[in-house]
Amino acid sequence: MSWIKEEDMRAIRQQADIVDIMSNYLTLEKKGKNYRAICPFHDDHDPSLSISTDKQIFKCFVCGTGGNVFTFVQKIEEISFPEAVAKVAQMIGYPLEISTNGFEAKPNVNQPYYDVMNDYIAYTQYELNAATGMACLEYCHRRNINEDIIKRFQIGYAPAQEKSYHYLKAKKYSDEILLDTGLIREGNDGYTSTFFDRLMIPIHDENGNPVGFTARIITNKEGAPKYINTSQTKIYEKSNLVFNYHRAKDFARKKHRCILVEGAMDVIALEKADIHEGVACLGTACTTNQINLLKRLQVGIVVCYDGDRAGMDATYKFSKMACEHGLHFVIVNNRTKKDPDEIFEEQGKDGLE
């Protein structure tokens, strides 16, 4: 394996959760702290394949097939070992570089977009702690969003339109790639930044790649929408995304539950109460792709939508879809007519729990 560095393989294996990878191929059933499934490598009728979450290995106690995440992908895809390593790297978004005469992994075509997004996230984080971001930082503190949550969620501040655009151009990014990532838009007077004077919350895909933003207004401006979200781009497709999925999935498996709320600020409200297994579908409508992502967690879903009429309607619609797809769930009976963030602000951690 001289063409794949040992440190790369070690890093990929550490970052790739075998349960997450195998759930792309098999329906897993939780058994204690481990999982089991119908073995795909022999004519199995009862679940005989066991997956250890601690050891990150699998083993069939009938046919004897076993190994780690790489050997599973190699066997299920019927590909070579280096191809399996590259496949796992691609699934988790690991930037694997391979040099060999006979084998090369496909480069991630979206990596240039991720690079732009990461640069802009770092810039908004810097601006949050600059003089121009003081009002936004004070807003975070008023909302009890502490420094730990700010860092964990990479929360930032988008300054004036021209300032953001000038920064991105100074980084030598073309207008084309900035349009493709939704960071700028074209108007009558040329290009301007999509986001300005807003609290910025990055949105990631299930592998942790940055793909978009939800941006909240921090001052009352007549006619201005409370939130602006990234529109559909080459890497952002709202119907395929579950906010905070990449951070929450390990906590969900440890807690044996995943809490589904409506928006990013509701997820952050759960974080304020030290509840780390919260996710959101970035709106009340839930799609089949999002349901499938939730199913991959192999835990029960706790639906905690807002207590108003719209939240109740959304809960009913989600419930119908979840039943159709065999997703196990329970519903929080929220009689407050408030969202989780409002409940935390009024009643604190105990009230939200």
Which of 57, 60, 59 lies closest to 70, judged by CA?
A: 57
More confidently predicted of 189 and 121: 121
The pLDDT score that the predictor gives to residue 298 is 78
Is residue 175 scored above 90 in pLDDT? Answer: yes
Chain centre to alpha carbon of residue 264? 11
Is residue 88 scored above 50 in pLDDT? Answer: yes
Is residue 93 scored above 70 in pLDDT? Answer: yes
Under 8 Å CB-to-CB from 6, ≥6 apart: which residues? none
Per-chain mean pLDDT for the chain: 89
Per residue in 191-227, pLDDT (tens digit) is: 989 999 999 999 999 889 999 999 999 987 777 899 9
Question: Is 327 within 8 Å of 342 (Cβ atoms)?
Answer: no
Q: Which two tokens stand for residue 18?
A: 């075998």
Full DSSP string of 231-256: PP-SS--GGG--BTHHHHHHHHHHHT
The pLDDT score that the predictor gives to residue 184 is 93
The pLDDT score that the predictor gives to residue 272 is 93
Max mean pLDDT among 87-101, 217-231, 239-253 falls in 239-253
Is residue 11 scored above 80 in pLDDT? Answer: yes
Q: How confident is the model at residue 104 (pLDDT cuts 50, 70, 90)?
A: low
The pLDDT score that the predictor gives to residue 193 is 92
The pLDDT score that the predictor gives to residue 1 is 43
First to last CA, the chain: 50
Per residue in 26-71, pLDDT (tens digit) is: 878 888 889 998 898 888 878 899 999 999 999 999 999 999 999 9
The pLDDT score that the predictor gives to residue 21 is 92
Q: What percent of the chain has pLDDT over 90?
A: 57
Q: Among 116-120, 145-149, 251-255, which is the least confidently predicted range?
A: 251-255
Phi, psi of 48 (to 5 degrees): -120, 0
Say how far apart CA 309 and CA 314 lie, in whole Å: 9
